[in-house]
Amino acid sequence: MGTGISTLVVGHGLPVVLVDVDEGVLERARAASATGLRHAQLTGALPAGRAPGKLRTTLSLGDAAEATVIIEAVTELPEKKAEVLAGLAALVRPGTPLISNTSGIPIDEMAAWVPRPEDLIGTHFMNPAYLIAMVEVIRGPKTADRTVESVLALLTRIGRRAVVVNDAPGFVTSRLLHPMINDAAQVIGAGTATVEEVDTLMQGCLGHPTGPLRTADLIGIDNLVDALNALHARTGDERCRPSKVLLDKVRLGELGRKSGRGFYVYSEAKS
C-alpha cells in the first residue's frame, strides 16, 4: 500500500521519502513504483506531461523528519502502528499532518499514541492507490480543522476525491467490505460455488467491479485477516472473525497477488 501511495504522489510531481525496515522490500518498491507509473500514465490516470517527483527510499525513520505530510501505511497491527506513529510524531514539526492509512483501527484509539492528537487523521486509500480516485478520510474526535483542511488540499492536488466520515471501527468501507469478503470465503469453504462463480455473480448481479475474492487477492489476504481481527476485537461482530478459508490461505503463504497465489494464481508475484 505504501508503494502504491508513493507512486500516486510522485506521479503528480511531488517528492516522496519511502521508509521501510527491509532493503529487499525497498528494492521491490522501487521497481513496482516504476511499473505503476508507466501503467498509470498509459491509462491516463496521471497528468499528461508532468515530470514525476523524486522517490527516495531509506531504512531510517529519521530521513522523514523534514516531511510536510506523513502517511503511515504499516500493517494493521496496533503495536506496530503505535511504534511508527510515535516515532514519527517525535521527529516532525508540530502541525505536520500525521495520516494513518488504516483500514479499521479508530483514530481516537491511535490518538493516545502521539503527543499531538490534533495532528492525527485517518485515510483509507484503495488499492491500487494510483488508479482509484476516491479516498475515505476519517476525522477523529481530536483532529484539528487545520489538519482536515491540509489533508483535503493534498488529496485535491494529487487528483483524489475525498469523503470525510466520522470515527468508528472500520469506518465505512472496511466495515462493509471486509465482512463481505469473509462471507464470500465462507461460501467457497462450504462448496456452494467456485471462486470464479462467486466473483462473476457479484460483478454481474450486484455491480462489484472486481468481485470480492479478486479484491482479497489485491488487498493481501494476510492484511485482510489482520484487519478482520482488528474489527472483530472492536465490534464483537462474528462476521468479522476470519474464516478458516482465509486463515488457511495465510498459513500456506497464499497471500494474493504479492505472493503469486491467493484465490487466483498469478504469473508473477506483485510488490
Would you say the C-alpha torsion 116, 122, 127, 133 has a positive or negative sign?
Answer: negative
Q: Does residue 128 have a cis bond before it (omega within 30 degrees)?
A: yes
Task: Label the pairing between strands 134-139 and 120-125.
Answer: antiparallel
Cα–Cα distance measured from residue 42 to residue 35, given in angstroms and rounded to the nearest whole number: 11
Active site residue 12: no
Q: Within 13 Å and on the Cβ side, how many CA atoms surround 71?
A: 23
**Cβ neighbourhood burial of 209 (10 Å; 0-12, 13-18, 19+):** exposed
Look up cell 494464481; give the residue: 265
Q: What is the largest CA-CA distance in the chain?
A: 55
Q: Between the CA atoms of 104, 219, 203 and 245, what dihedral angle is there, to the nearest 10 degrees?
A: -90
Q: Does residue 78 have a cis bond before it (omega within 30 degrees)?
A: no
Determine which one of 12, 124, 178, 232 is catalytic.
Answer: 124
> Hey, what amino acid is at 184?
A
Residues constituting the chain: 271
Q: Give how far Cα 28 sits from Cα of 2, 152, 271, Å.
A: 12, 30, 6
Angle (CA) 36-30-131 rounded to 5° is: 20
Report the catalytic residues. 124
